Amino acid sequence: MAEAPAGVELPGAIGRDAESRRLLARASASIAKGASSTMRVLDYHLPLVVERAEGAVVWDADGNDLIDMNMGYGPLIFGHRPRLVTDAIARELGNRGTLLGFADTVSIEVAELIKAAFPSIDLLRFTSTGTEASQTAVRLARAFTGRSKLVLFEGCYHGSTDGTFHRYHAAPADIDALAERGEVAPGTGGMNGAPRDIVLVPFNDIEALGAALAANRGNVAAVMLEPVLGNAGVIAPDPGFLAAVATMARNAGALVVFDEVITGFRIARGGAQERYGVEADLTMLSKAASGGVPLGVIGGRADVMKLMVDGVVFHGGVYSGNPLSLSAALAVQREFAANGASIYARLEASASRLADGLRSLLRGAGIPAVVSHVGAMLSLWIARDDAAPVPRSYRDVVRTMDHTRLIRLQHAAQRNGVYFHPNHFEPWYISTAHTPEIVDRVLDRLSGALREVDWRPGG
């Protein structure tokens, strides 16, 4: 979402942000829009250029300290600059350097630890990003089944590859209008008709999935989804939903692909598959798997992954399995294996403490809001009215939540020393650095921010 919603005053010279503003102007002369991801510099972002980070805190170019609830969009499960990651990278630099281009020993142990966390994975390959893992998953599914169509769920994002990148935050009416013609909206210009052969259904809607599979009988290669929807806020699967998806997809001869780029190693060591007791045929991982360095994983059943072994599906990349990334991933994976029970108990406790505190603050201020969390990921939505339920789908968020007022709250929160992303589809992420004391400080700062917000309805 690039433009500011109606009713949002675009950022002006508010507070102490002159240096961040100056640096962004300088950056814009060399870097398109000033940063290498549009989500970092949306039109309704307050100016923010970070100079250093530690634990749960970042310091900007103007000397402001902010408690970070974004955590690099999820990878930083141990916070900023955790010693286990930085020390591992330093050792690797002194041992093998920055790049090899050969098979190496560190990749073996990382793969074994990931397999131990995800029993559904027999074989895997390392990539550099989740988008690359998604691209490979699509090719594997189509090659294995000999079919073309993919069933995806509204609001889910599976990377910017041409295979899956649709306008996942499109207006529901636009989704419906295109669906009547068997189309989806491309996620960006320049896709030359891609993505093709995509069928969209609402999350948590088993009947819609059944109808889609029936209408495309014999031609669905895979049903792909985020098992906990994390790109429309944090939306949990209904009880039994994931198991039903898996059964229905397999009965239709399609593969089950879980995009656990966000949920893997975040909501449990074994991600959603461990938390909900459902196994996928193919799994995509990234983000928390390596604690903040570029790494992706595509893994799954041996018979499907054999297509790579036999060369039927090509996969390569100079930086795939980069030793610096794998050294960091090895440290992180060893920590999960040794101390996972205590790590996830602490994360769950901090997330619950924050969620309960947010509900109490907003209720006390008379602000209609919904707070949802699954493990160490959380969403705060400002609702249109007090009757808004916890969303079960992307459409529920669009219909019942007020994006404009959330942006106003985010601006006030940032000025009071708490950063969360201003887009209401982006979750908050809790790390081990978010101790009870830090969580209480977040709530204290947000208490001040709440008093500054114009709460008139937005849009």
- Enumerate the active-site residues: 157, 259, 287
Interatomic CA distance for residues 89 and 309, integer angstroms: 30
3-state secondary structure of 301: coil
Q: Whose CA is closest to 263, among 284, 293, 245?
A: 284
Interatomic CA distance for residues 234 and 424, integer angstroms: 10
What's the CA dihedral at 252, 186, 37, 380 to 10 degrees? -60
Interatomic CA distance for residues 80 and 86, integer angstroms: 10
CA atoms within 13 A on the CB side of 5: 16
DSSP strand pairing (418-419 vs 198-201): unpaired
Q: Whose CA is closest to 202, among 191, 194, 211, 193?
A: 211
**Exposed, middle or buried: residue 409 (CB in 10 Å: 0-12, 13-18, 19+)?**
buried
Task: Kindly list the distances between the CA atom of residue 450 and the CA atoms of 15, 321, 362, 409, 459, in Å, as whole numbers in the listed order.
Answer: 16, 45, 8, 7, 19
Are 330 and 106 spatial neighbours (Cβ–Cβ below 8 Å)?
Answer: yes
3-state secondary structure of 46: coil
Neighbours of 380 (CB within 10 A): 27
CA atoms within 13 A on the CB side of 425: 17
Place of tokens 């923010």: 48
Q: Whose CA is closest to 56, among 45, 75, 70?
A: 70
Are 306 and 128 spatial neighbours (Cβ–Cβ below 8 Å)?
Answer: no
DSSP state of 219: -
